[in-house]
Amino acid sequence: MGKDTKVFMVDITAKPDVIRMAKAEGTITLKKKTLKAIKGKQVKKGDVLATAKLSAVNAVKKTADIVFLAHPISITSVDVTTEINEEQSTVKVTTEVHSLGKTGVELEAIAGVMAGLLNIFDMCKYLEKDENGQYDTTAISDIKVVEKTKNSLKTSHKE
């Protein structure tokens, strides 16, 4: 008989609450005609960049639902930006997540980026298919944490 594998969430009970921030980014490479459709708001499913931003915020809030051993975190703010680079034929999604808590928000920032990029792919896939129905040039890439900070709480007393 094999030994049962232990699965647990790390105990963060004794850790102090601190101000935390993480920023992540990633890109999707699309055809030039797809970028033109996005910019002109001509994609059949609607406003691609607005949908990507909303889906990113939602993913940040639901990270603990999909990353099984992640702690549910109280998110204090989420900022999502998108940037079209016509020269490279890409859209970059960046999320910046803030929290006041016991553990970092890197997973949440990455989840937001991934959801934003996935929604762009979903909304634009009909424009990206080649004559054989394949996605030869479409690629999601370079998803990474680009910055994180952790600052202790400072209290000021007026006397």
Q: How many angstroms separate the first and last alpha carbons of the chain?
A: 67
What domains, with CATH codes, occur in the chain? 22-150 (3.30.70.640)
Mean pLDDT for the stretch of residues 42-71: 97
Q: Tell me what pLDDT residue 3 has.
A: 79
Q: Tell me what pLDDT residue 5 has.
A: 84
Mean pLDDT for the stretch of residues 22-42: 98
Q: Which residues contact 17 (CB under 8 A, 6 or more apart)?
A: 100, 101, 102, 153
User: What percent of the chain is predicted at pLDDT more than 70?
Assistant: 95
How large is the angle between the packed helices 106-128 and 32-39, nearest 10 degrees? 110
Q: Tell me what pLDDT residue 51 has.
A: 98
Residue 27 forms beta bridges with which residues? 92, 141
97 has pLDDT over 50: yes
Closest to 95 (Cα-Cα) out of 113, 107, 83: 113
Return the active site residues: 122
Q: Tell me what pLDDT residue 8 has.
A: 83
Mean pLDDT for the stretch of residues 95-120: 97
pLDDT tens by residue, 121-149: 999 999 999 999 999 999 999 999 999 99
62 has pLDDT over 50: yes
